[in-house]
Amino acid sequence: MLRHRRTSCRLTAQLRGTLARAARAPHCERWSHEVEMSVQNPREENMDAIDRRAFMKAAAVGGIAFSICGAQGPLTEARAQGAPLRSAAWPNRRLLDLLKIEHPIVQAPMGGHVSPNMPVAVSGAGGLGSFPCALLTPAQVLDEVPKIRTQTPKPINLNFFCHAAPQRHEAIESAWRQRLAPYYAEFGVDPPASPTRTLGPFGEEMCDVVIELKPEVVSFHFGLPNKSLIDRLKAAGCKIFSSATTVTEARWLEDHGADAVIAQGIEAGGHRGMFLTNEPASQVGTLALVPQVVDAVRVPVVAAGGIADGRGIAAALALGASAVQMGTAYLLCPEARISTYHRAALKSAGDNLSVITNVLTGRPARVFMNRIARELGPLATGVPSFPLPGAALAPLRAKAESQDSAGFSALYAGQAAALGRELPAGELTLKLAAEALQRLGMLGRAS
């Protein structure tokens, strides 16, 4: 394997030797021909015979290939050897330097879908692993997170919601149950009682737990908690991330203390992070959103939505993002906690099988289209506040799943789900990094 070394060398001999090795490196087939063309006449100290343009091309290619060859197949080996320059090839280091991580890949937290082993694997591979805590109690967080900490010394992210506690309107909830009544009848289940307690947003008690655990990153969805909580987290050394779906939200997050903004494009699976707008129709695609957010804020921007392979990562960096956040791409990993229905849907995913619907949880979220979203939505009015509709659907979901139907299940997925691969999360992270570095090298190469 080729490695950068800070050693002096005799140029032409060593350079051409390097190029020759690059040509033989198994992970550089794409460039081998060009490199071989350039080193076909390796006379010492004299390259008269080599066309200048070809040489310059090869030199550029060779320079790029160093990064790529190191990154592609044998990244694991490279890391085992502690090769410190592996991540030096990334064109934007803002998030890497902020967090002291190797690759600009944030594994998205995905409430209820991530085992502690996933962030262990992702962070271990040099990305930023995330553990979703939004659906957990403080006690559960205290129980789960140490399982991660004991397995990796690398930075991790804990994720929370900061939605407004749901406003209860018995009239709305009752009317919604009425709209579901034909389904309750069809499946022979009783309408559930209106829940007395619902998922609460991030608060003081959870903040105490987080400060005890000291994750390097705390990320939020649906805005940010109040300033005193943010101040406490920052005083504990946590970097604060949150999602923006518009430029206005991105500016708000920066103004309220975010150390990085996740620009969540419309392609993203799961809940829209929107918190200053409630208008799904004007939500923005990732390709359009990211550069506008980059222009609007000074903090690093993490692109999210529709990114599932190295091409998407390279594209996000081209747009000015400092990193990407990828969720759906990790759902086929063995470390994901998903149902057999969810797994089957992901494995047969197409580009346009998902929709943004609010009928499953009360907030717009991208899921695979299913019966309830088709028949009542995808975007309905008169839906109870988040997360109340989930409880109303629970008995229908259970009964339908017992009949092998996901017609009432929230199978979260982004629009690049079809690009997903069934790999362990660490291996996937390294593969994604290698693909992206290869793609970046190709882009920078004059043809």
Report if residue 316 touches a copy of itself, rule: CB under 8 A: yes
Of 142, 172, 211, 419, the one binding a copy of itself by CB under 8 A: 419
Place of tokens 């580009």: 351
Q: How far is 13 from 113, CA to CA, in rounded Å? A: 54
Residues 228-287 interacting with a copy of itself (rule: CB under 8 A): 245-248, 265-267, 277, 279, 281-287
Residues 26-45 that bind a copy of itself (CB under 8 A): 45
Residue 330's CB: how many other CB atoms inside 10 A?
Answer: 29
- Find the shortest distance in angstroms from Cβ 226 to a copy of itself: 26
Part in contact with a copy of itself (CB under 8 A); list of ranges 27-35, 109-117, 163-171, 304-312: 304-312
Minimum Å distance from CB 313 to a copy of itself? 8
Residue 378 is a binding residue for a copy of itself (CB under 8 A): yes
- How far apart CA 101 and CA 256 sit, in angstroms, is 25
In the complex, minimum distance from the CB of residue 90 to a copy of itself, in angstroms, rounded to a whole number: 7
Compute the least distance from the CB of residue 30 to a copy of itself, in Å.
12
Output the smallest distance, CB 423 to a copy of itself, in A.
18
Binding part of the chain for a copy of itself, among 108-116, 120-128, 386-394, 415-423 by CB under 8 A, reads: 415-423
Sheet with 129-132: strands ordered across: 105-107, 323-326, 301-304, 260-264, 239-244, 217-221, 156-161, 129-132
Q: How far is the CB of 6 from a copy of itself (least distance, A)?
A: 6
Choice between 118 and 315, CB closer to a copy of itself: 315
**What is the rounded CA–CA span in Å between residue 378 and residue 54?**
56
Q: Which of 124, 132, 156 is nearest to 427 (CA)?
A: 124
Please, what is the angle between helix 425-444 and helix 52-71, to 10°? 170
Nearer to a copy of itself, 52 or 298 (CB): 52
Full DSSP string of 104-161: SEEEPP-TTSB-THHHHHHHHTTSBEEEE-TTS-HHHHHHHHHHHHTT--S-EEEEEE
Choosing from 325, 354, 358, 429, the residue that interacts with a copy of itself (CB under 8 A) is 354
Q: Which of residues 319-338 bind a copy of itself (CB under 8 A)?
A: 319-320
| Nearest distance from C-beta of residue 188 to a copy of itself, angstroms | 31
Q: Rounded to an integer, what distance in angstroms lies between the CA atom of residue 435 and that of residue 96?
A: 18
Q: Which residues have CB under 8 Å from 220's CB, separation 6+?
A: 159, 160, 161, 162, 202, 240, 241, 242, 243
Q: What tokens does 354 get?
A: 């998902």
Q: Which residues of 205-242 are buried (b: 16+ CB within 10 A; e: fewer)?
A: ebbebbbebebbbbbbbbbbbeeebbebbeeeebbbbb
Per-residue binder mask for a copy of itself (CB under 8 A), 62-101, x = binder: xxx-xx--------------------xxxx-x--------
Query: Is 150 an interacting residue with respect to a copy of itself (CB under 8 A)?
Result: no
Cα separation, 415 vs 269, in Å, equals 7
Cα–Cα dist 327/389, whole Å? 23
Q: Please identify, using beta-carbon distances, which residue of 307 and 383 lies nearer to a copy of itself.
A: 307
The residue among 198 and 245 lying less far from a copy of itself, judged by its C-beta, is 245
Binding flag, residue 10, a copy of itself (CB under 8 A):
yes
356 is an interface residue for a copy of itself by CB under 8 A: yes
Task: Compare residues 210 and 323 and give the one whose CB is closer to a copy of itself.
Answer: 323
Nearest approach, Cβ of residue 147 and a copy of itself (Å): 33
State how far the Cα of 341 lies from the Cα of 98, in Å rounded to an integer.
38
| Residue closer to a copy of itself (CB basis): 306 or 362 | 306
Q: Interface with a copy of itself includes 351 (CB under 8 A)?
A: yes
One-letter amino acid for residue 69 of the chain: C
317 makes contact with a copy of itself (CB under 8 A): yes
